[in-house]
Amino acid sequence: MFRKKNKIVWTSIHEEINNIPELHIKPTREFIPEWFKNTPIFDNPKAVIPNREKTVRTCPSFTEIFNEGFVMVAPTDIFITLNEQGIYSWQTPNEKIYMELHSEAQYLKYANVPNARLVLKLVSGWWCFTPSGYSVRQLPLFYDDNPDFYVPYGTIKTDLNHEINPQIIITNKKDKIFIKQGQPLCSFVPFKRNDKLNLSVESNKKYLQKIQDKKFWIAGSSYRSNYHKFN
C-alpha cells in the first residue's frame, strides 16, 4: 500500500498484545466473509456457457475491497449489558482494555441512526502511525452479518493523532452482548489527504469513444480470472 519507506505502523501500548499475533491488526483479505468464499463463480456451473449466470463472486469491486486496508479485532472479551431504560454496564477480563460512553447528547439525540441503542468507545490501546499527509478511514466491516453492533465511518489524521479508539454502536435489542476476543470489529484504510479530484460535469462529446470502448470491455471481457484472486 505504501513504498517500503512509507509504511503504516500499528503498535499497542500494551506490550502483551504486541506479543500475541492473533490479536494484531491484519490485512482485510484475512477476514473475507465465509458466505463470499463459499459462493461459486457461476450459479449454474453445469449449464452451457450462454446460460451460465455469474455470481457476485466475479464482481471486481469485492476483490478490491477485500484487498484494501486492515482489520482491528477485539483485543479482549467484552461483555455489555443494557436494559430498556438505557442503563448499561460493561466488563472485560483485562482492566487495561475498557469502554467509555458517548452520551445521547453527543450523537444519538440528534442523528437518525436506525436501531441504535447505545454508543460506546473502545479504548483499544492501539496506536497508528502513517507518513506525513496520510490519514486512515475507519469503516464498518463490509458485508458483515453481525446484528449486535457496528463501528461507524470516520477519518483520523494518523500522522498527527495516533490513538485509535473505535466507536461501537449497539443495534441489537438483546439485554446482553458478548464480543469475543479476536472477533473482527472494523476496517482501516489509509489515504493521502492531498490526493483529491476536482468535480467537473461535462458534455460527453470528447468521451464517447472511451465510453464505447469501456462498454464493449464490460460486455465482452469483464470479470476476468485475475479478478477472482486475492493478493
Which sequence spans correspond to the domains of the chain? 9-192
Q: What pLDDT is recorded for position 96? A: 92
pLDDT at 42: 85
> What is the predicted pLDDT for the residue at 178?
96
pLDDT of residue 162: 97
Q: Which CATH superfamily is domain 9-192 in?
A: Deoxyuridine triphosphatase (dUTPase) (2.70.40.10)
3-state secondary structure the chain: CCCCCCCCEEEECCHHHHCCHHHCCEEHHHHCCHHHHCCCCECCCCCCHHHCCECHHHCHHHHHHHCCCEEEECCCCEEEEECCCCCEEEECCCCCCEEEEECHHHCCCCCCCCCCCEEEEEECCEEEECCCCEEEEEEECCCCCCCCEECCCEEECCCCCCEECCEEEECCCCCEEEECCCCEEEEEEEEECCCCCCCCCCCCHHHHHHHHHHHHHHHHHCCCHHHHCCC
pLDDT the model gives residue 5: 64
Low-confidence ranges of the chain (pLDDT < 50): 1-4, 216-228
Question: Computed over its alpha carbons, how large is the radius of gyration of the chain?
Answer: 21
What pTM was estimated for this model as a whole?
0.84
Q: What is the pLDDT of residue 2?
A: 47
Q: Show the cell assigned to 188.
A: 482501516
Closest among 103, 149, 105, 151 to 124, alpha carbons compared: 151
Give the neighbor-by-neighbor strand order of the sheet with 176-179: 88-91, 78-82, 176-179
